[in-house]
Chain A
């Protein structure tokens, strides 16, 4: 395996910096500079995998939360089922799904979505539950219908918890999506684990640093986006007594 890697890598490096760095499996900035273009497509795929999983997961969790909000007794069973999905080891989940949905992004997405459900469901229901009783009573007493209360009062007030859930779900999914490779999915996982990706595979340090680093960067950017939404879209959260 290492031989293959070195054979592949050496071709690139002899031109500019010599075989030294790559041959010694070091951290090679000039190799990175030469090869960075090979990472953009997988990064895009990774973003797609993550965003799709979080979006689908959110839609399902949101509907489940609304159902549980109206029928409180369903909260326990739904938490149980999504909790069970959450505890399945991720790589195992990918392999278990392959016979059902085949190798590829579909299988990867199914697993990724199932991991977001518990986090999102728990945060959305907690957000809805934490809306102060007196605010709802006042809203009812003033003549808002149950749907108006949900749309105008409960969901906006649950936004901080919902966004917090999305943050956690997004960063978790960025990490898990690197394993999508094992289900035949695309994304940065292919660069990290496979020599076939053409960037040296798991045993070439420079490659692992770049591919892993991009995943970390993606998670950080997502984190920042949700944080800024929390900060700028919810001005009332910052309002305190003057």
Chain B
């Protein structure tokens, strides 16, 4: 019998082995036959006789194949196959959420390192003052008062009289201490600014803002009295409460 015939006959009963495992076995036994034949040739045998003798010394290929087949466990083979499929599916399923989480976490980190940068577009044309007042919000959130500017607009009051309205534009950045966790954005009401100055049209939060589930920029337009030194911000969410006095930096002779 030739080496190739031996290896083919060996493969017949090996149904438990995968193609890769079978190829490995055939290579190993093929190398064994080649080594034995090489030793016989070195002892003076002809190539053909050496190979035939080396093959014969291996024994019955069907018996060897059956014995080897018993050592490839069908149970663990099936577990491997299904586990590999499950792992691939899990990686595919987790890929997008993990990517989005990493992207959002990166943005959360960027905004907490430099919160003024994403806010700048809401303060165009205004003389801004950076702030850095940080307070603990609910469930690990950080509420950070990061930028302000004072504005004066001339608008008609309820009687139609043109009146100057002063307002503090305050930028607040909210993020969780853990960049992979969401902020408490659901109710979208915190913090609030307390003022007894009259409002112009529109609600307090007319300044705009942007948010993801992980971070938020909120721009507040708070009416104030001219020369007012501070404005009170209040936060009250599920038992987490704080008030903070945000200083107002007037320029252009409007200081108190």
Please say whether chains A and B are actual partners in one complex.
Answer: no
